[in-house]
């Protein structure tokens, strides 16, 4: 498994980090071969592997998920409730 770090959709070029060589940013090109999306994997200091098929891919989003929004809203409500309760009891200005 490699970590995709960049993608150029105009020509299929991409950059990735190989777990066998984590200190280097590597580059490759996606190719459609036999109905599969493939690329040639440098494979760190091991023998290179040609036409590696991509079966699954995951995307991480920098945008907060809706659950993070609701969690933040609940946390804000809890803070307001505690402050309001303390103020009524005379413990918080």
For residue 35, the enclosing domain spans 3-53
Cβ(57)–Cβ(37) below 8 Å: no
Same-domain pairing of 38 and 74? no
Same-domain pairing of 41 and 65? no
**Residue 47 confidence class, pLDDT cut points 50, 70, 90:** confident
Q: To the nearest whole percent, how much of the chain has pLDDT over 70?
A: 89
How far from chain centre, in Å, is Cα 90?
47
What total of structural domains would you count in the chain? 2
Same-domain pairing of 70 and 48? no
Same-domain pairing of 28 and 65? no
Tally of CB atoms within 10 A around 30: 16
Same-domain pairing of 45 and 65? no
Stretch (H or E) spanning 55: none
pTM tops 0.85: no
- Residue 10: name the closest of 25, 30, 26 by CA: 30
Is residue 31's pLDDT more than 60?
A: yes
| Cα separation, 75 vs 34, whole angstroms | 51
């Amino acid at each position: 498994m490699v970590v995709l770090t960049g993608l150029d959709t105009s020509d299929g070029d991409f950059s990735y980090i190989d777990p066998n060589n984590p200190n280097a940013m590597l580059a490759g090109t996606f190719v459609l071969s036999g109905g599969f999306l493939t690329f040639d994997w440098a494979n760190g200091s091991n023998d290179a592997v040609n036409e590696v098929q991509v079966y699954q891919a995951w995307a991480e989003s920098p945008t907060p998920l809706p659950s993070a929004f609701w969690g933040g809203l609940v946390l804000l409500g809890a803070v307001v409730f505690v402050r309001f309760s303390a103020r009524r009891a005379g413990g918080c200005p």
